[in-house]
Structure 1
Amino acid sequence: MAICLVHRPQIPSPQRGTALTVEAPARPGLSRGTALTLAVAGALTVANIYFPQPLLDAIASGLGVSDSAAGLVATAAQIGYAFGISLVVPLADVARLRRLVTVLLALTTAGLLVAAAAPNLATLTVATVALSTTTVVPQILMPTAASMAGPAHSGRAVGMIGIGLTLGSTLSRTLSGAVVGLSGDWRTAYLVAAALTGALALVVPRLLPERTGRGGDVSYRKLIGSMPGLLVAHAELRLSAYLGGTVFAAFSAFWATLAFHLAGPAFGKGVAWAGLFGLFSLPAALLSYSAGRLSDQRGPLYVNTLALGCVGVAFLLMGTVGTTSMAALVIGCNLLVYGGSCWQIANQVRIFRLDERIRARLNTLFMLASFAGGAVGTLTGTLLYEAYGWTGMVLGCGGFLALAAAGLLRARHLD
């Protein structure tokens, strides 16, 4: 697939609630090679949020804490990512992208090194919040790629970066589990992540335009202050934010408790097995690439409905047969990854149709809602698992999916 478009767009008239929009410059274009590289960069950086999840059992043992206490590391990652999305990503509408991305990659690398050397859970949790706050490069690359590609190919650009994020979030669990399985030390996974993140600082900034908009004189305070108005103005944004938060809560609850379930009496598997589920779900991650094109052809609401059906079947399967069957868990995991990835891509395609001059802020609001939901889901999932086991966790996820279905039913007119 070639994504290459170089032209000067017409600037649309400002829409209600889009205060502080800026004039868009000529598009630099998005070649196939650049798109693939940005997708890889997105995969490696988003992995920093997810790779600790299969390590929670090892972290609990290594630091001498309970399983629920170790679960705070996963929750901290979601909270930190939400901080970064709300406070850092909006800068992509007005900042010098190359400098911004370089600084963020350097800070994330430093945070990973501190986490690797953490002597206790408190230090590890604080370091996780810090590094997760700065590892928001994927959410800067997403709207930037859409702007570089242009309106005719923005859906494909979102799909390509989206599959990179899906592969990063899934395969990172495989990599971290394998690293710990080979080294016998969960800290090694953090060192590997630091090396990969640091290397990106030498490559990614060179591929980006200096800016995607003109407006560097806009104060940070006004930039942040403009976002509530965007949420009020756009029903499509409110819908995507709500849908993103509810389903990502269920998605996060599953991954935060999978290692505990696999280590339990029914399976007796170690950390490496939890990581292998990222590899097992690779086919679903690859198939989700079609979500961007399908959203353009049939509309995001159609893709949302398809995705929710897949996720619902996944939890039904994993909550029944998946209590004792490894095959059922693998099949359910594939359905969950496919549905979850398509769900997110459709939601982002919906909001990127609104106004290209404020895409970073639109993405900020959407991702903030999604990862706030993820933090709630992670915490809820670990608490439910500790109190009621795997079945209790799955039932809790069913509640999140019911909320998502209600939102879809009320928003059938938007697409």
Structure 2
Amino acid sequence: MKKLSFPLIMLFAVAAGLAVANVYFAQPLLDAMADTFGISQAAVGIIITSTQVGYGLGLLLLVPLGDLVDSRKLIVLQLGLLGLFLLIVGLAPSVFVLLAGMIMMGLMAVVTQSLVAFAANMAGDAERGRVVGTVTSGIVIGILLARTIAGALADLAGWRTVYFVSAAFTLLIAGVLYRIAPVVEKRSAGGTYPQLLKSVFVLFASEPVLLTRGIIAMLLFAAGTVLWTPMVLPLSAPPFSLSHTEIGLFGLAGVAGALGAARAGRWADNGYAQWTSGIGLTLVLLSWIPIACMGYSLWGLIIGVIIFDFGLQAVHVTNQSIILKVRPEARSRITGGYMVFYSAGSGAGSVASTITYAHFGWTGVCILGAAISAAGLLCWGLSEKSYKLGAA
């Protein structure tokens, strides 16, 4: 198979980053959104959770369609609808409309994973890890810039402006992909749509490596949302009293995550996927030590975020590199099923973290995050033999 050109890979990375940013805009804005709609600190995590509910449904119902229909058309359609639902979120007059808009926005934001599967299908075996790593780097950068840009725009013109601007850029990238994305030979899985969805569960039941990597992803991203969701609450309050712009800048501390994603893909191609996972999970666990020191120095938080994001993205890319080798004809279904675990963990982490913060403060949040991270590392250790068999 002909190698993908660098500009084409970068196009997928930019598109994926733009799409996934929409899922993370709310994190530095939770206090402002809570004030607008009268939501308590303990309940404000429901905004993030509603997005993850939609994202989880999309992963299960939409991403597998890439194995059945024209992936290029599916991606462009999802981006167009994503732009529409972003406008609804920005115009939301009530909590009900806001949460409904967030659910639908999350549903369409899974186009990010459709792009990953599309790129993986187009890549050759020798470069798949590198391609997935590069596209995932775009996703990481999108997540980081989402927090930073959202904070800056909210300070300038309010939180609603964030979603209006995002809608414009999302529709723009949809048009670019419609004109530039290549038309590839359709590789249909055959059968009906219900049969396609059923096959997702069959795949994860019959391939142990998919299930174990999914569980690790669930725990890993639960820890991630435990870190990021309640962070705005102590940083916006005394003694820090930071603005949304300043809080958003903390996202840039995780720029090492992009490096981790790109490097991990290369390590996976070279046969070091298993050890990359173990090292990444260990870093995620250790990162909670400096993060817990935020009350003494913001440098502890910055250092901890750098370590955390590097480890998280290294494990995430390694997971994808391993599972996408299992059933080449079912990469869209595998990607969707794997990311359902991610969405479940993210949603649960959002709710648990804000409730924990309301009752036990930042120390309680750090203990919760460390416990979840330790469970992920334990899962990796117990499943090492299964990983080797699955990757063979």
TM-score category (smaller protein): over 0.9
Amino acid at match of 2:310: Y
Q: Could you tell me how far apart the structure 1 residues matched to 2:153 and 2:51 are?
A: 20
Counterpart residue number, 1:43: 17
Q: Does 1:110 align with 2:73?
A: no
Q: Could you tell me how far apart the structure 1 residues matched to 2:159 and 2:370 are?
A: 32
Q: Give the one of 20, 36, 58 matched to 1:84.
A: 58
Counterpart residue number, 1:17: none
Q: Could you tell me how far apart the structure 2 residues matched to 1:143 and 1:316 are?
A: 35
Amino acid at match of 1:48: N
| TM-aligned CA deviation for residue 289 of structure 1 | 1.4
Counterparts of residues 371-382 of structure 1 (less than 5 Å) = 371-382=343-354
Residue 299 and residue 283 in structure 1: after superposition, are their counterparts in 2 closer, same or farther (change >3 A)? Answer: closer
Counterpart residue number, 1:404: 376
Q: Could you tell me how far apart the structure 2 residues matched to 1:162 and 1:79 are?
A: 22
| TM-aligned CA deviation for residue 298 of structure 1 | 4.0
Q: Could you tell me how far apart the structure 2 residues matched to 1:122 and 1:212 are?
A: 42
Q: Give the one of 322, 325, 335 matched to 2:297.
A: 325
Counterpart residue number, 2:227: 254
Amino acid at match of 1:249: A
| TM-aligned CA deviation for residue 55 of structure 1 | 0.4
Counterpart residue number, 2:251: 278
Helix, strand or coil at the partner of 2:384: coil
Contact conserved, 1:177 with 1:273, CA < 8 A, in 2? yes
Amino acid at match of 2:276: V
Contact conserved, 1:113 with 1:191, CA < 8 A, in 2? yes
| TM-aligned CA deviation for residue 114 of structure 1 | 0.5
Q: Does 1:234 align with 2:217?
A: no
| TM-aligned CA deviation for residue 131 of structure 1 | 1.0
Q: Could you tell me how far apart the structure 1 residues matched to 2:112 and 2:15 are?
A: 7
| TM-aligned CA deviation for residue 213 of structure 1 | 4.2
Q: Could you tell me how far apart the structure 2 residues matched to 1:205 and 1:302 are?
A: 39
Q: Deviations over 1:357-378 (max 9, x none)?
A: 1011111111001110111111
Segment drifting more, 398-407 vs 124-133: 398-407
Q: Does 1:52 align with 2:26?
A: yes
Counterpart residue number, 1:392: 364
Counterpart residue number, 1:124: 98
Counterpart residue number, 1:26: none
Q: Could you tell me how far apart the structure 1 residues matched to 2:247 and 2:49 are?
A: 18
| TM-aligned CA deviation for residue 69 of structure 1 | 3.0
Q: Could you tell me how far apart the structure 2 residues matched to 1:70 and 1:346 are?
A: 33
For structure 2, the 5+ residue unaligned runs are: none
Counterpart residue number, 1:23: none
Helix, strand or coil at the partner of 2:45: helix
Q: Give the one of 184, 189, 192 matched to 2:162.
A: 189
Counterpart residue number, 2:131: 157
Contact conserved, 2:82 with 2:170, CA < 8 A, in 1? yes
Q: Could you tell me how far apart the structure 1 residues matched to 2:303 and 2:189 are?
A: 48
Counterpart residue number, 2:332: 360
Q: Could you tell me how far apart the structure 2 residues matched to 1:225 and 1:252 are?
A: 29
Counterparts of residues 258-269 of structure 1 (less than 5 Å) = 258-269=231-242
Q: Does 1:215 align with 2:188?
A: yes
Helix, strand or coil at the partner of 1:69: coil
Q: Could you tell me how far apart the structure 1 residues matched to 2:188 and 2:312 are?
A: 35
Q: Could you tell me how far apart the structure 2 residues matched to 1:31 and 1:179 are?
A: 34
Amino acid at match of 1:69: A
TM-score, with structure 2 as normaliser: 0.95
TM-score, with structure 1 as normaliser: 0.90
Q: Could you tell me how far apart the structure 2 residues matched to 1:205 and 1:410 are?
A: 45
Amino acid at match of 2:352: T
Contact conserved, 1:250 with 1:401, CA < 8 A, in 2? yes
Contact conserved, 1:283 with 1:334, CA < 8 A, in 2? yes
Helix, strand or coil at the partner of 2:44: helix
Counterpart residue number, 1:347: 319
| TM-aligned CA deviation for residue 227 of structure 1 | 1.3
Q: Deviations over 1:122-161 (max 9, x none)?
A: 2111100011101111101112111211111101011001
Amino acid at match of 2:323: I
Q: Could you tell me how far apart the structure 1 residues matched to 2:19 and 2:99 are?
A: 19
Helix, strand or coil at the partner of 1:37: helix
For structure 1, the 5+ residue unaligned runs are: 7-28
Segment drifting more, 61-70 vs 259-268: 61-70
Contact conserved, 2:213 with 2:319, CA < 8 A, in 1? yes
Segment drifting more, 382-391 vs 305-314: 305-314
Residue 150 and residue 327 in structure 1: after superposition, are their counterparts in 2 closer, same or farther (change >3 A)? Answer: same
Contact conserved, 1:93 with 1:212, CA < 8 A, in 2? no
Helix, strand or coil at the partner of 1:250: helix
Give the RMSD, CA atoms, in angstroms.
Answer: 1.5
Aligned-residue sequence identity (percent) comes to 32
Contact conserved, 1:83 with 1:133, CA < 8 A, in 2? yes
Counterparts of residues 286-305 of structure 1 (less than 5 Å) = 286-305=259-278
